[in-house]
Amino acid sequence: MSVWRYTSGLNADVVRHWVDRVAAAPTKGPKPSLEPAPHTGRELPFLRELHSQKQSKFTPWKLALPSPTTLVPAVLLLLILVLQLAVFPRLPSHYQLFRSSSPPPPNSCPSVPAYNPFVQELYCRAPQYTPNRLYRQTPHSMALAAAAERIAAEFEYPKEQVQKGVTAFMRQMDEGLQVQGATLSQIPTYVTAVPNGTEKGLYMAVDLGGTNFRVCSIQLHGNSTFSLTQSKVKIPGDLMTAKTSHELFSFLAKQVETFLKTHHGEHYSSHVERRKKSSMLSGESYSDEDVFSLGFTFSFPVQQYGINKGTLIRWTKGFDIPDAVGKDVCALLQKELDALHLPIRVAALVNDTVGTLMARSYTSPGKTGTLLGAIFGTGTNGAYVEKLSRLTKLAKMGPEAGDVETSTGEMIVNTEWGSFDNHLSVLPTTSFDRTLDAASNNPGIQMFEKRISGMFLGEILRRCLLALIHDPSTPLFTDEHSNQNDMHSTTNIHDDSPLYRPHGLDTSFLSIASGDASPGLKVTRQALDIEYGVSAASAEDAEAVRLISSAIGKRAARLSAVAIAAVVLSTGKLTNTTGNADDDTIDIGVDGSLVEFYPNFEDYLREALREVPSIGPAGEQRIRIGIAKDGSGVGAALIALVAERERAGGNASAASPSSGAGGEGGLLQSVLSSLNRNLRIRV
C-alpha cells in the first residue's frame, strides 16, 4: 500500500512489472536483469529521452535550420554591417552609425578642401586640434571655409616674387649709398666700431621706439654681461600728433627726471643743488664729472651729421608732429633736459636697429662680429656694417658729412628699409593693403613696413574680418539658429566692439590665433569674447580667423627674409669663406615681438631664404639669427661709450675699453677720468 501511495503519478503497468519481478526473484544466485520490460503502454519521459539519445548516435547528420525568430534578427544585423562598411563611409559624417565622438588626431596633414597649395600649407603648419573640425560637410561651414581660404590666398608670396624682391632691394641699397634722397635712405650713423664684450661703465639711455618711451641706466660689466634698471611709460595719443615739438620732448624730459629721482636720487639732488649755486654765483657751467652720458635711441628716419647730431626726416608709426621735421632731435631733447637742470648730456643719437646690432655684438661677439641688426616689432628696420669705400655719398656731402673716423674702414649704416619700394614695383598688394594705406597718416610712404610691422598687421586682419562680416553670403560670426553653433547659442558682435574701430585689433591677437592648439580653439574664442566683444563665436569662426591670421603672418615673415637676404648678398659675406664653420658664420641680431613671439615666424623666414638661388640651403645654414635682448637700451649705452671717448679725444674704438675716458690727454685729464669713473661706480 505504501508503494502505491507514492507512485500514483507513475505508469501503473511499468511499476507493477518491476514489483512482481522483485518479489519473484530468488534469494540466492545472480541478480535479475534490470532490462526494462517490453513497452506495453506509455513510457516514462526520462526513459523516452534516453532512448532517443541512444538512437541518435547512429542517425546520419542533418542540417537543422534556425527558427524564424532567430533568423530574422541575424539577417538584419548582417545587412547593417554591410551598409556601414561599404555604403555609409561615403556619406557625410553626421549620417554615419557608430561614429567616434572624438576621432584620433591625424598622423599627417589633414585632408581639407583647400584648392590652393599656399592655403593647404597653412593648415599643415597650424597646430592641430581634434574635436569640432571646421570642414564638416554642411552648407554653413563650407561657405565660411571657402570665404576664409579666398582671403588667405590673397596673401600668398611665392618664391619667384621673393627673388624679384631681393634683386630690387639690393638695387635700392646701392642707390642709397651713392645719393641723398633715395628710396632707401642708407643713413650714415658715424658709428665705426662694434663692441667685443669687454667694455665697462655706467651709462644712461632713453628709447623712443614707437608707442612707448623707456628710460634706463646700464652697468656694463666687461664680460659680455650687463645690469639694467628701467622704467617705461606709454606715449599719450595726443602727444603723438602734437602741434609743437616742445610738447612731446618736454614730456620725455620729465620722465627722465622721474627716473633719476627714483633710481639715482642722491646723485640727482646733489647735482641740482650744485648747479643752482653755480648759476647764481658765477654762471659757470657744471663739471663733466657729474654728468651721465646718454644714448638717445630715436627710431624714426633722421639725417645724421654726427654721432649726436641728426635732423628728423619724417615721422612714422603713427606720429605726426610737423614742427619737429627738419630739426636736430638731440638738441630738442637736450634743451628740455637743461630746462629741468638734469645731470645728463645727450652723447649719441642711436637708431634702435643700430642699438640691436651693438647689443648683439656685446653679448655674443664671436669671431666675425655681427653683420646686421634688425627690428621686427611695432615697426621694422635694419642697420648693417658697410665698407666706407662703398658709402660714396659721404664725399658728396662736403662739410655736412661731419667728422668721420676712418681707421676701421667700416661704418654702420641705417637702411630705413621700411620705405623699400614705396612705388610698389615688386611688393605684393591686396585690397586690404590699399585701404589701410589710404587711411594712414602717411599714405604712399613706408609701404614695406605696412606689410610687416606689428603696427599694421592687426589692422590688416581687422579689415579682412570686416569684409567677411559685411558680406551677407559669408556666415562669419553669424548663425541662423543655435544648432549651427557648438556653443548651443548664436554669435553676436557687440555694437561697441573694437573690430569696428580703426586699429582696434592688436597684432598680439594674430599670435594668439595662429598658435592656438586648444580644444575647439577655445583660447581664440575667449579672446574674441573678452577683448573684442564677439560672444559665443563658434569653432568654425575661430578657425577661419586663425587661417587668415596665419596667412598674414607668413607673408610678413617671407617679406622680412627679402631684406635679410639682400643685406647678406650685398655685403658679399657668403662669398668670403675660410672653411672654418665659426669664422664663416654670418651673425644677425634681431629684436621685436614678431620675431620673438609670432608662431613659425623664423621658420617661414628661413624657408624663404633657402628659396633665394644665391643663398640656397647651404647659405641659409651659415646664417645665425639670435635675439638681441634690450638692444635699444644696451646698444645705446655702448654707442654713448664710443661717443664719450671721441669727445674726450681718445680712441674711438669700442674694442679698447681699458684706456681711460680721456685717453692720453695728460695727467689732469687722467685724474678727471678717474674721478668720473669712481663716481659712476659709486652711483
Average pLDDT of adjacent 10-residue blocks, the chain of 683 residues = 44 54 52 48 55 52 61 79 68 48 43 63 63 54 89 96 97 95 91 83 88 90 88 93 95 95 76 62 54 89 86 89 94 95 91 88 78 92 95 84 81 94 96 96 94 96 96 83 62 92 94 90 93 90 94 97 98 84 87 91 96 96 89 87 73 37 34 37 32
Rounded Cα distance between 78 and 403, Å, is: 94
In a domain, 323, yes or no: yes
C-alpha cell at 133: 573640425
The CATH number assigned to the domain holding 293 equals: 3.30.420.40
In a domain, 627, yes or no: no
User: Are 151 and 224 found together in one domain?
Assistant: no
The domain tally of the chain equals: 2
Q: Are 544 and 148 in contact (CB under 8 A)?
A: yes
Residues marked active site are found at 299, 314, 352
Q: Are 218 and 634 in contact (CB under 8 A)?
A: yes
Boundary of a domain, candidates 362, 378, 404: 362
pLDDT of residue 643: 82
User: Are 208 and 150 found together in one domain?
Assistant: no
pLDDT of residue 70: 73
Cα 496–chain centre separation = 28
pLDDT of residue 460: 98
Rounded Cα distance between 236 and 105, Å, is: 48
User: Are 219 and 356 found together in one domain?
Assistant: yes
Rounded Cα distance between 414 and 187, Å, is: 5
User: Are 464 and 350 found together in one domain?
Assistant: no
User: Are 340 and 457 found together in one domain?
Assistant: no
C-alpha cell at 238: 595726443
What is the total residue count of the chain?
683
Beta-carbon contacts of 539 under 8 Å, excluding residues fewer than 6 positions away, are 131, 132, 134, 486, 520, 521, 525
User: Are 466 and 340 found together in one domain?
Assistant: no
In a domain, 454, yes or no: yes
pLDDT of residue 419: 95
pLDDT of residue 680: 35
In a domain, 171, yes or no: no
In a domain, 562, yes or no: no
Domain span at residue 356? 197-277+287-362
User: Are 318 and 455 found together in one domain?
Assistant: no
Q: Is the pTM of this model over 0.85?
A: no
User: Are 212 and 150 found together in one domain?
Assistant: no
Boundary of a domain, candidates 362, 377, 411: 362
The CATH number assigned to the domain holding 440 equals: 3.40.367.20
In a domain, 578, yes or no: no
Q: Are 540 and 140 in contact (CB under 8 A)?
A: yes
pLDDT of residue 579: 74
pLDDT of residue 107: 39
User: Are 505 and 446 found together in one domain?
Assistant: yes
pLDDT of residue 475: 84
Boundary of a domain, candidates 362, 385, 412: 362
Start-to-end CA distance of the chain, whole Å, equals 131
Question: Closest Cα partner for 519 from 2, 130, 19?
Answer: 130
In a domain, 542, yes or no: yes
User: Are 433 and 501 found together in one domain?
Assistant: yes
